[in-house]
Amino acid sequence: MNKLDGKVVLVTGAASGIGKSIAELYATEGAKVVLADLNFEVLESVTKEIVANGGDAIAVRANMVEAADVESMINTAINKYGTLDILVNNAGIMDGFEPVGEITDEKWDHIFAVNTKGVMRSMRKSVNYWLENNKQGNIINVISTGGLNGAHAGVAYSASKHAVVALTKNTAYMYAQSNIRVNGIAPGAIATNISHSMTDVSEFGAIRTKFAHGAIPSIGHPEDIGTVAVFLGSEESKFLNGAIITADGGWTAAF
C-alpha cells in the first residue's frame, strides 16, 4: 500500500523545482494531486507527465498574489476530487539580497504578497474548509533556512520566510485539537530555478551573504525535499505538529 493512497493534495509552485518533485512523488505514493502555478504552460506539461506515468493529477493556473486565484485553486481541488486532505505551500520568490537600507516598498510588498500573504490565504481557506466540514487536515509549508537565519538572503525574503515559520507554529497550536496539523520544511541550498526570480541584486548584500554561502557543504536536489514532504503528508508523521524540519545537508549545523 502506498503512503498517500486516496489523499487529495494541492501543491503550489508545482511547475518546477521542489514543487514539481513533491507533486510527482505524491502521485507515485497514490495521491490525487492538484498542481498550481502561474506558469501554466509548463505546469500542464508536468501534469501530463504525471498522468502518463499512471498518476491522477490536474493543473490549475494560480497567481499567489491574487486572492481570487487562491480561492479558486482550493475550490477546484474540492470540486474535482470531493475533498482536500493536504495543502503544500511551496510557491515563493527571492529578493535580490538587499539589506534594509536598500529594499524598496514595492519589492518588499511583492515578496510578502507571494511568500507570506499567499500562504496565509491558502491556509485560511483550507483550515476553514476542514473546520466547517469536520475533516482532518494537513498543511506543509516549504519555508527556507532563510526563515531561520539572517545571512542566507536579503531582508525581504528572510523576513517573509520568518513570518511563515510563525504562521506554521501558531496555526499548528491553535488547531491542534481540531485534527489539523501544520509543519514546515526549511530547505538549504537546492538546485532549483528560484534564482530566476532575483532582480536588481545588491552588491553589498551579495558580499555579506557570501560568507554564509561559503559554508554550504553540498547542493541538494528537489527530490531530497520531496521525500521529506511525503513523510510529513503521511501517517508516519502523525505526532509531528508545529515542527520545522531543516533539510540542508548539514549547512546550518555549523552555526
pLDDT tops 90 at residue 1: no
pLDDT level of residue 192 (50, 70, 90 thresholds): confident
Closest CA to 85 of 4, 176, 205: 4
pLDDT tops 90 at residue 255: no
Helix (H, G, I), strand (E, B) or coil at 123: helix
| Annotation: CATH topology of 8-245 | Rossmann fold (3.40.50)
DSSP label of 142:
E
Q: Which positions are catalytic?
A: 157
pLDDT number for residue 215: 87
Q: Share the mean pLDDT of the chain.
A: 96
C-alpha cell at 41: 504552460
**Dist CA 13 CA 20 (whole Å):** 8
pLDDT number for residue 40: 96
pLDDT tops 80 at residue 196: no
**Dist CA 119 CA 150 (whole Å):** 21
Distance between alpha carbon 198 and the CA centroid of its chain, in Å? 18
**Dist CA 235 CA 132 (whole Å):** 23
